[in-house]
Structure 1
Amino acid sequence: MADSSDTESSNDSEYFNSGEDSEDEIDGSPEDDKEESEEDETIKAIKRESQRKNNHPPAIHTEDFITDICFHPINDILAVSNILGDVILYKYSTDENTLLSSMELHTNACRDIEFSHDGKLLYSTSKDKTIMISDVNTEKLIQFYENSHEAPIYCLTIIDENVFATGDDDGTVKLWDSRKKNDKPVYKTKKNEDYISDIVTDEAQKYLICSSGDGSITTINLEKRCVQMQSEEYEEELTCLGLFRTGTKLIAGSSKGKLYMYNWNQFGLHSDTFPGPKVSINSLIPATENIVITAGEDGNLRATYLFPHRHMGIVGQHDMSVENLDICNDGTFIASSGHNNEIKFWNIQYLEKLEKVHVRPKKHERKKELENNLPSSKIKNVSEFFNDLT
């Protein structure tokens, strides 16, 4: 199918159209004497598609492998880290993306970047085992933690304006307080036997939840600074985490394409599981309180309605595995990066209209829903395109 447009469909009723009737429409082509007229109509439809104004920023192409992306919490800025240890800032808009600055921070791959809650600081971690806190406006280094971990750091999360957490390749988690002018953590634990893939907390900041490549979740009590519990180990890596339903639900993605759901405060065993395509879920983000977007090793971004469980379809796609996802400050765009050094933006405003899904799909419909292309996707359903010819 032609990659002719990635604009949003104006017909809400076609959102879940899987294109299954498209073959019949093609077979029912006009007689020979009408072929020229039909071709003219097709060309007109293609032109209409191509002339529609973009509803999202254009793609960003980089020279070096992208390791992480992060939206600024207030301004229209996207931070991009790469395998060289640099962090590049872009000003984005639906018309163009402008390079703001390039900071050479680490001597090795910069694996995770996060803005402070007020957007004034940028936290970065690296394979070189260092942590840096930089001023976004002046680009000056505010704080530097050298040899902060014994193993390369894999992930970082900011808890509040002073405290943040990091996890490394060996399963160690450390808490840091930026008010302390030394490079010593305020807490350290190692309960996992493989890398710490993701770390999250909620607004109450009572618990810190850490997922691991060993297939388990470790819960740290932030108030008491001790390990609260550790979940059972699954026969697959837990790769990413997300909070939903106003923080009452925790979702973990796995290397086998499953979503595990936990009730908050009950992290020992999942309350539900939802299988998807049998490819690794590399990243996930909440699009709404009830819709999660996952990034897959197959290059697809998929939207899934959580309660009741329902695959909504493909939000967007890359030619190669998608590694990173983030959502902008007002929830209009998500950005995704893959192995081909490209960042793509997707307008997901239409998902707000799909918040209420009441019908639970039958088993035989799930495959169609997984393959269905949603309005933000670059691939248009064939039947949806041909509807424009009538």
Structure 2
Amino acid sequence: MCKKKNLNISEDSNLESEMSDSDVSMSNDSESEETSEVEVEVENTTQETVDEEEEPEDEVISAIKRECERKNDHPPMIQCDDFVTDISFHPFNDLLAVATIVGDVLFYEYSQEGNSLKCTLELHTKACRDIEFNHDGNILFSTSKDKSIMLNDTNTQELIRFYDNAHDEPIYCLTVIDENLFATGDDDGLIKLWDLRQNGDTPIYKTRKNEDYISDMVTNESHQFLLCSSGDGSLTTIDLTKRCIFMQSDEINDELTCLGLFRSETKLLAGSTKGKLYFYNWNEFGFHSDAFPGTKAAINALIPITENIVVTASEDGNLRATYLFPHRHLGVVGQHDMSVENLDICNNGTFIASTGHNNEIKFWNIQYFETVEKVNHKINKNERKKEMNKNLPSSKIKDTSDFFSDLA
């Protein structure tokens, strides 16, 4: 009986198993049908998507996408914690020195892929106003509102030489002349010439012909003259060989802020607080030979790009390119939200860097200037104003006419 009972239980189990298998089979068939319906719907949706993608994209949207997808052809912006007072590119390496209002100098290694802070030198007790590498890049010169001059080894970051209280007034600018000589100018118009071969902290020459701050200094390749611009609107020229004043120019009703040499050093160009460019013939520094108006915003800095092209940094936040002889504004190279204070060009001439009042350093690719053909004619005032505001390829803003030029 027990066996029979067990047998019946086994048969019931087999029956339940068969019924279960049958239910599973029916369920699978049902799920299969539902899956087939879903697959059909997916295929239909996919086909509709393909059909939609095959439709031509709106041309305006395409133009916008092309602008968004443009690859950067320059290093990214550097945002500093403190106000930037000056910048200087290393003459051979991809290194940028940055001076700040707290007296520090930061060294950045730059590339199109990104920038990296290499080191920070805490040098001066007050604002570091001017920095410049020597000709081989092994020494960084720095001057400060604290009236001192420092020379640091760029490889070891060690202090090489220190001139304490080099001027009685805060030092405004500095320029390296050769491997031994450099010059400084202060807020009171005093110019000093220094020789590294001399012991102590006594200059080899000094003069004060200006009644206001010395804003900039440049020299020619032969180191014949040292040209010094001033806030009093005059230009002081020092004969470096004889160590004496060669010429003092007449004062103009404008502050001279920056200097540059052009046309194989046959022309000197000076920027001013009224936005004008003043031209001086070589060896004729008594009075400017020509003046070219720009915007009314002050020109804070300028940098020669070619023998005939200069880029100026303006108080209105724009960097503008100007062609010289004949004089023509080429357009806006780039822009900052606030006044542009400093400019420099990198070792291979591909980029320029500029600093704004909001502690930012921007890079601009200027290689397209190599293709600029000679300008052969002058234009009227209305055309000049239009060209002055035209955005060039490096600009962060693209002209509307250029943006839609390929949509016609």
Q: Same fold (TM over 0.5)?
A: yes
State the match for 2:278 in structure 1.
260
Query: 2:98, 2:344 → 1: CA distance?
Result: 11
Aligned with 1:298 (options 305, 308, 316): 316
Task: Tell me by how many angstroms 1:358 deviates.
Answer: 1.6
Can you list the C-alpha shifts for 1:284-327, whole angstroms capped at 9, x where unaligned?
Answer: 00011100100000000000001111011111000000000001
Matched, 1:348 2:366: yes
| Percent of residue pairs bearing the same amino acid type | 69
State the match for 2:48 in structure 1.
none
Name the amino acid aligned to 2:153.
D
Aligned-partner SS, 2:329: strand
Q: What is the Cα-based RMSD across aligned positions, in Å?
A: 1.2
5 Å-filtered alignment, 1:135-174, equals 135-174=153-192
Aligned with 2:388 (options 366, 370, 384): 370
5 Å-filtered alignment, 1:46-65, equals 46-65=64-83
State the match for 2:219 in structure 1.
201
Higher helix share: 2
Runs (5+) with no aligned partner, structure 1: 1-36
Query: 1:94, 1:288 → 2: CA distance?
Result: 23
Aligned with 1:85 (options 96, 103, 109): 103
Aligned-partner SS, 1:95: coil
Name the amino acid aligned to 2:212.
D
Aligned with 2:333 (options 299, 303, 315): 315
- Structure with the greater alpha carbon radius of gyration: 2
- Divergent runs of 4+, >4 A: none
Query: 2:368, 2:379 → 1: CA distance?
Result: 21
Task: Tell me by how many angstroms 1:131 deviates.
Answer: 0.2
- Between the two proteins, the alignment pairs up a number of residues equal to 354
Task: Tell me by how many angstroms 1:196 deviates.
Answer: 0.1
State the match for 1:111 in structure 2.
129
State the match for 1:276 in structure 2.
294
Task: Tell me by how many angstroms 1:39 deviates.
Answer: 7.8
TM-score of the two chains, using structure 2 as the length reference: 0.85
Matched, 1:123 2:141: yes
Matched, 1:98 2:98: no
Query: 1:163, 1:233 → 2: CA distance?
Result: 28
Task: Tell me by how many angstroms 1:184 deviates.
Answer: 0.6
- Name the CA shift for 1:49/1:142 in 2 (closer, same or farther; >3 Å): same
Task: Tell me by how many angstroms 1:180 deviates.
Answer: 1.4
Task: Tell me by how many angstroms 1:363 deviates.
Answer: 2.6
Name the amino acid aligned to 2:183.
A
Report if the CA contact (8 A) 1:290-1:355 is conserved: no
Task: Tell me by how many angstroms 1:364 deviates.
Answer: 2.2
Matched, 1:329 2:343: no
State the match for 2:61 in structure 1.
43
Runs (5+) with no aligned partner, structure 2: 1-54
Query: 1:236, 1:360 → 2: CA distance?
Result: 25
